[in-house]
Amino acid sequence: MSTNPSASPRTAFRRFSVAMGFGSTSKAEVKPESSASAAATPSSIAKYLVDSKAAFLKDAEAAGNEKKWTVVLGNEAGDLDSVASSIAYAWFLSEVEKKPAVPLIQIARDDFVLRAENVYALGLAGIHNPSDELLTTSDIEGKPSFPSSSFFLVDQNRLASQFTGTVIGIIDHHQDEGLYKDTCTVREIVLCGSCSSLVSLALPPQMPAELATLLLTAIVIDTGGFKVGGKATDEDRQGTKLIPLTTLSEPTDVPFAPDALHEVAFIKKLNKDLQHRKSDLSHLGGWDLLRRDYKEYTHSLPWMEGQPTIKVGLATVPVALKVWGKKGKLEKDSVAWMKHRGLTVLGVLTTFTDEKKKKEKDKKGKKDDVKGKGKDKGKGDHKREMAWIILQPEGENAPTIDVPALASRLWAGLEESKELSPQPHKKFNLKKNGKLPSNAKGKVYNQGNASATRKVVAPLVKTILEGAPAASPPSAETEPQKEAATAKL
């Protein structure tokens, strides 16, 4: 954890009290399956979003406003945690601190369809037309100026290269990259399940019911409903403060004890509804799956001739490769996405449940029930895969990359990682498939440690690519076992 103690949100915002009257809006009778009449009622948060977006875009038409606005920026994956965190903290800056602020959602206006769980959660918070009510990248494209040089980062702690300005604050739950310590007045970086948990701790003791609802949905989906033994930490369990404020809870929803949140009836239902919407991706093809939960990084290669700087993309895909990537589709969609984004490296990180193993465990569980044992029932078999492609980027100003050397270094670094425990994927030999461009390299792994997420992969890749020159890195082209596992994205 890295913080600025004098400006920690948990300390700085304790001065707010219930007496201030924030969140005086009475609870709407909105349940996870909200009625049509409730869905037609705009929330106070929706009004704030519409008004701030309109004012921001008006100022974007004229120069000289760059010091007026603070843009609250979640990461480019556009997941519910980033959306909720950016909306909540922008509201706080505007309505409590009285500083003009607006949340910028880093997706295109038409991309809300990629995340049904986001649309559902926003609807519970009275935000029923997110593509119109929220500021997106589509809204700022082609503007003569960007009316802000001040950024507050949530759910990330590095400002993307396309933005220029000063980072004045950070609330994040990823690994601390140690940046902006001299410019941040708030710097709260804590490893926990959900950034929305940290944001909720930074807000007043009371807040609008719709905002509490939105933050809670993000915490619930990120922690699997506060699953015991899961991602939830003490910071996440302090989400109990949100429950009485939301539009979802009822007096019968007890207990609210932090260690018993997973047993609360409406949290169980909310988690089930959110996870169902998140997992139903049957309408999406490979291109959409890659861009649905995507993050991009810039890394320098000090060990390569010319010390080039490259772009690396990591796409988290909650569907097994065999479902959408067979017969060369993995390579085709991935290369198309890489060219679109100007990437040198793309990592596709899948996460899914092996339904065959799940059924086997369920069947075994039923048998064990007869014997008084039911340990394996319903657990399923969570799996992860990693597919990697390295490609010489195109374009007049694109750096020249030694693709074989970069591939050897990346493969060696990944395979040495005990945190990932990768094993060659037997069903995706990309070299054998012959579907990649001749100058590309690729490899696919089954990830032995299924609990290691992109939060583990991203810093590992940074270390591999930016570290000191590797001592005689093994070549994927000369080691028979590794060659057999070459699986291009």
For residues 239 and 200, the answer to whether their CB atoms sit within 8 Å is: yes
CB 248 within 8 A of CB 283: no
Instruction: Give the pLDDT confidence score for residue 161 in this predicted structure.
Output: 85
Which residues, 6 or more positions from 397, have their beta carbon under 8 angstroms from its beta carbon? none
Q: Give the ranges where 61-194 is alpha helix by DSSP (H).
A: 80-91, 116-124, 130-133, 137-140
* pLDDT value of position 248: 84
| Beta pairing class for 70-73 and 101-105 | parallel
Query: What are the chain's domains?
Result: 2-279 (3.90.1640.10), 286-484 (3.10.310.20)
Strand partners, 470: none
pLDDT of residue 474: 40
Res 31: pLDDT: 39
φ, ψ of residue 247 to 5 degrees: the values are -90, 5
- How far apart (Å, rounded) are the C-alpha atoms in residues 229 and 225? 11
In order along its 489 residues, the chain shows pLDDT tens digits of 344 433 443 333 332 222 223 333 333 333 333 333 333 445 689 999 999 999 999 888 876 766 789 999 999 999 999 999 999 999 999 999 999 999 999 999 999 989 999 999 999 999 999 999 999 999 998 877 788 899 999 999 999 988 999 999 999 999 999 999 999 999 999 999 999 999 999 999 889 999 999 999 999 999 999 999 999 999 999 877 888 888 887 766 566 778 888 988 899 999 999 999 998 898 899 999 999 999 999 999 999 999 999 999 999 999 999 999 999 999 999 999 999 999 999 999 999 998 666 555 555 555 554 454 544 444 458 999 999 999 999 888 899 999 999 999 999 999 999 999 999 998 898 877 778 998 899 999 999 999 999 999 999 999 999 986 544 444 333 333 333 333 333
Q: Which are the contacts of 349, defined by CB distance < 8 A and separation ≥ 6?
A: 314, 315, 316, 317, 384, 385, 386, 447, 453, 454, 457
Q: Sign of torsion, CA 412 414 419 420?
A: negative
Residue 443 is inside which H or E element, if any? strand 441-447
What is the reported pLDDT for 146? 80
The answer for residues whose C-beta is within 8 angstroms of residue 6's C-beta and 6 or more apart is none
pLDDT of residue 477: 35
So what's the pLDDT on residue 252? 61
Buried-state track 1-34, b at ≥16 Cβ within 10 A, e below 16: ebbbeeebbeeebeebeeeeebbebebbebbbeb
Are the C-beta atoms of residues 95 and 88 closer than 8 Å to each other?
no
Using CA atoms, how far apart are residues 224 and 382, in angstroms rounded to an integer? 14
Strands of 37-97, DSSP E: 70-73
> E strands, 86-206, where?
101-105, 135-136, 150-154, 166-172, 186-189
- pTM over 0.75, yes/no: no
